[in-house]
Structure 1
Amino acid sequence: MRTDGTIHDRQSLQYVLRSGLAGGVAGCVAKSVVAPLDRVKILFQASNPDFQKYAGTWSGAFRAAAQIYRENGVRGLFQGHSATLLRIFPYAAINFMTYDQAEALLMPTPDTQTNLRRFTAGAISGVTSVLFTYPLEIVRVRMAYATRSAPGASTRPSFLSAMRGIYTEGASSASASTNVFSHFPILKFYRGFTVTVAGMIPYAGTSFLAWGFLRAHLLPPPPTFDETDSGPAHKRKPRAKATPLADLSIGAVAGALAQTVSYPFEVVRRRMQVGGLTRPDRWMRWGETVRGIYAAGGWRAFYIGLSIGYLKVVPMKAVSFAVWQFSRRVLDL
């Protein structure tokens, strides 16, 4: 990208491809760092019966991970991670690339940056990335959910077997010929999509809002100097330098805030995503899913696994933003 920073540069194919590459790499690195915690969190959120005894405490996440390791070794901790990487590279690439484009259009200069525009740019990027990659998310969740007690599932399902299982579930049901899935099987890969979009708006919006706000205040852009500035160049105050530690810290705060405001949506989404295992014959709706969660544990049930959510999202977002910025510098963005 040229140093003039024009919108035209950001819309060039070369810039878009490099921006997508930087985002995809950042997403894969961040997800790999927290993959074991991610699997434990999915088991908690989806109320897997083998691991409910560990839910609700900080130490429970580590005891659940220890059980997985005893039973299946390191591979068990990374079960479903292949599907995660297949999903996260295009997801993160589209997410960061879309944010770059939205930022250029909504906030072309530092003077035009506002919190509402930061939130809007983040929400647009999050929804766009989910739209194109959601089926891969469904496969990844099913792979991570499977344990020895899951009906009809092997201990370590492959990516293809998980896809086949989703596509064929409910086919033998007596009502299969009358449900929506018999006419539109692709919808099986979009269970929980509406609640995902609803949750993605506050999650991605808050994440990029906090990221942009904190960087603007902690790492302000360099001052501009015109012909009236007669001071010597070596005495001018330099801008605060963006370091990997600064990127990690700002990313961690952004992740914590985003996780807090969007977590109830995530719990509902997980229950709907695994709904094909409990109610394969029909679409699980928002209302009944919310009522079922509330009946099982009251309002606290919407925050089950939040502690492990922090353990996962805070380092994941920190690493994601830091690697994104590092990749941008390497790729001269």
Structure 2
Amino acid sequence: MASVKKDDRLTRSQSFMCVGFAGFFSKTVTSPLEVVKIKSQVGTFHSKRGFWQSFLLVYQNEGLRAFWKGNLTSCLRLFPYTAVHLTTYKKIVHLHMDELGFISQWRAILAGGLAGVAAALVTYPLEVAETRLIVQNCRQPTYIGVVHTLSKIYGSEGLLALYRGFSLTLLGAFPFSVGFYVVHMNLDKIWQEPPFRFTPLQNFINGCLAAGVAQTLSYPFETVKRKMQAQSARLPHFGGVDVHFSGTIDCFRQVVRNKGVLSLWSGLAANTIKIVPYFGLLFTCFEMCKQVCLYRNGYIISPLSYKLAPGVDQSLGPNELQEVKRYLKNRNFGSGETSFGNQW
């Protein structure tokens, strides 16, 4: 997935807060599309009549609040996922750096992939809970809230149920990473300028196109994964899954045999439509939050503008800039005190 551009003028906690807020807001706004997408992947009756009819069926059978089922779980998953991903990525990159602090592009991609796997491993139970909350009928719920969902799955189905389909996360990571990397490499050639000179609009277009291609390539793995997360003999209609299977390979086989190969991309329309508003809101919210932090750190003159503060070295980190300010303040105070004493 596309990510917001790192800015060394923010502290680690500020970057984490900005990413968290942007992710929370963009996920909440685009939650209806996510609900329809997951129902289509699982194969519930809501998705039998196509993309647009799915919205109408969800509204008629469960009401407006059904479009935000599982959204809190999805948002809560952002924070540990981001923290684990960033921490793991930095540690892996540090291990592969040479004496000059350089790391090859392929090793950086590998580090990103391994960090993503580690983050997914830690937060995967929350993804399973999100799927269960979305596929159930909220007017006749089996699960109520995140904690109840996790405890009930663990109590009735065991620990392994919270990691059902995790292997597909690993398998889907390869086509996703390759698609994302190839698109970004070719877009850099099309723009005919280095990435650090890209405008916000260019970064947004790159992110949307790369995410669209990468998600399309890895989509069959996610479809099967969602079916495996949803299916349970202890749920009404086996969780609403449109095929019954005994494992990962059998799930692929049953889907292709009963629904056709294209059914592996069920819900792709909702997912594709979601990309533009999701990343648009993600980048916009991040930039707004970042402006407030940059203003507070003293790099810009207003939280409503990117106009740089005069006389401020933008290459300094937040802590370094504060040290410089304290030094100048103490020096000016000391010189003022001396001149005051000389007058007497």
TM above 0.5, yes or no, is yes
8 Å CA contact 2:36, 2:47 repeated in 1: no
**Partner residue in 1 for 2:199:** 242
Sort the Cα spacing of 1:293 and 1:139 in 2 relative to 1 into closer, same or farther, 3 A. Answer: same
8 Å CA contact 2:18, 2:289 repeated in 1: yes
Question: Given the alignment, which residue of 69, 75, 86 partners 1:85?
Answer: 75
**Partner residue in 1 for 2:134:** 144
- The reply on whether 1:133 has 2:117 as its aligned counterpart is no
**Partner residue in 1 for 2:64:** 74
For residues 162-177 of structure 1, what are the structure 2 equivalents within 5 Å? 162-170=149-157
**Partner residue in 2 for 1:269:** 225
**Partner residue in 2 for 1:154:** 141
RMSD: 3.8
**Partner residue in 2 for 1:39:** 35
Deviation at 1:35, TM superposition (A): 0.6
**Partner residue in 1 for 2:301:** none
8 Å CA contact 2:74, 2:130 repeated in 1: yes
- The reply on whether 1:194 has 2:156 as its aligned counterpart is no
Question: Given the alignment, which residue of 234, 242, 248 partners 1:286?
Answer: 248
Deviation at 1:39, TM superposition (A): 0.6
Aligned pairs, number:
278
For residues 1-333 of structure 1, what are the structure 2 equivalents within 5 Å? 15-48=11-44, 50-54=45-49, 60-95=50-85, 114=105, 116-117=106-107, 119-147=109-137, 154=141, 157-170=144-157, 185-204=158-177, 206-207=179-180, 210-211=183-184, 214=187, 218=191, 220=193, 240=197, 242-243=199-200, 245-276=201-232, 277=235, 278=238, 284-320=246-282, 323-324=285-286, 331=293
Whole-angstrom distance in 2 between the partners of 1:30 and 1:113: 33
Deviation at 1:102, TM superposition (A): 5.8
Q: Report the identity percentage.
A: 29
Sort the Cα spacing of 1:35 and 1:148 in 2 relative to 1 into closer, same or farther, 3 A. Answer: closer
Moved more, 311-320 or 60-69: 311-320
8 Å CA contact 1:272, 1:284 repeated in 2: no
Whole-angstrom distance in 2 between the partners of 1:204 and 1:315: 22
8 Å CA contact 2:73, 2:130 repeated in 1: yes
Deviation at 1:143, TM superposition (A): 0.2
8 Å CA contact 2:168, 2:225 repeated in 1: yes
Whole-angstrom distance in 2 between the partners of 1:208 and 1:94: 22
Sort the Cα spacing of 1:241 and 1:43 in 2 relative to 1 into closer, same or farther, 3 A. Answer: closer
Deviation at 1:309, TM superposition (A): 1.9
Whole-angstrom distance in 2 between the partners of 1:100 and 1:326: 26
Q: Mind listing any 5+ residue stretches in structure 2 that lack a counterpart?
A: 1-6, 240-244, 295-316, 318-344
Which entry has the higher C-alpha Rg, 1 or 2? 2
8 Å CA contact 2:46, 2:57 repeated in 1: no
8 Å CA contact 1:26, 1:319 repeated in 2: yes
Whole-angstrom distance in 2 between the partners of 1:249 and 1:46: 30
Moved more, 128-137 or 99-108: 99-108
